[in-house]
Amino acid sequence: DTGVSQDPRHKITKRGQNVTFRCDPISEHNRLYWYRQTLGQGPEFLTYFQNEAQLEKSRLLSDRFSAERPKGSFSTLEIQRTEQGDSAMYLCASSSPDRTNYGYTFGSGTRLTVV
Amino acid sequence: AQSVTQLGSHVSVSEGALVLLRCNYSSSVPPYLFWYVQYPNQGLQLLLKYTTGATLVKGINGFEAEFKKSETSFHLTKPSAHMSDAAEYFCAVSSTGTASKLTFGTGTRLQVTL
């Protein structure tokens, strides 16, 4: 169990640029989640995958945001035409299909700064 | 709809003193409740969870929490604070367990002083 890995840890980008983040979940976890955390707030749900299927999307996920999990393993989150309001920590989490193992394992996050 | 309210955005205790972090939830169905800890520039680590059964749950690092349905509360406690407990603590609620999204509170920053 190597944990949930996120890359990069930090990203600084100019407004209007596109960015892509990667998340590698725990290998046996079939569920993968993306959350966004702004300063002084708790994480907010963005989207959720079970295997390669994207099963739920928050209305926070505007049309500039897209997430994929093409082979049911790693996932990417892309933000197009970034805005200053996109500056946040983007957290990925995964969970086990074992119903007795409630609760996610979070990665360390990708901190995005839009300048 | 679910929501979580954490009373007190900042709590300061002396080392060795009792830690009490408050969490109240709102859920239209029986909730699953979680406490997570976050250290600076890190992701969230699960401290403990309540799903069903015993209402007093014990977690890592000496923390425990009690689910009180009548009070819609899930307060986090630790008998004796340690300097290493200084961090941000988040309470979260889920209505259907592992497969469901979590709704988090705004967090409580715990400061531990000598």
A42-52 pLDDT tens trace: 999 999 999 99
B55-111 pLDDT tens trace: 999 999 999 999 999 999 999 999 999 999 999 999 999 876 545 788 999 999 999
Q: What type of residue is A47? A: T
β-partners of residue A88 are: A112
Question: Nearest-CA distance from A77 to chain B in Å?
Answer: 17
* Nearest-CB residue to B97 (from A56, A102, A105): A102
**Phi, psi (deg, nearest 5) at residue A110:** -120, 120
More confident: B9 or A1: B9
Residue A59 confidence (pLDDT) above 80: yes
**Contact assignment for A99 to B97 by CB distance below 8 Å:** yes
**Contact assignment for B98 to A95 by CB distance below 8 Å:** yes
Chains A–B, number of C-beta pairs less than 8 Å apart? 68
Lowest mean pLDDT, pick from B19-23, B39-43, B83-87: B39-43
B77-90 pLDDT tens trace: 999 999 999 999 99
Judge residue A66's burial from the number of C-beta atoms within 10 Å of its C-beta, 0-12 exposed, 13-18 middle, 19 or more buried.
middle
Inform me whether the C-beta atom of residue B45 falls under 8 Å from chain A C-beta atoms: yes
CA distances from B87 to B10, B14, B99, B109, B111 (A): 10, 14, 27, 6, 7
Percent of chain A with pLDDT over 70: 93
More confident: A26 or B30: A26
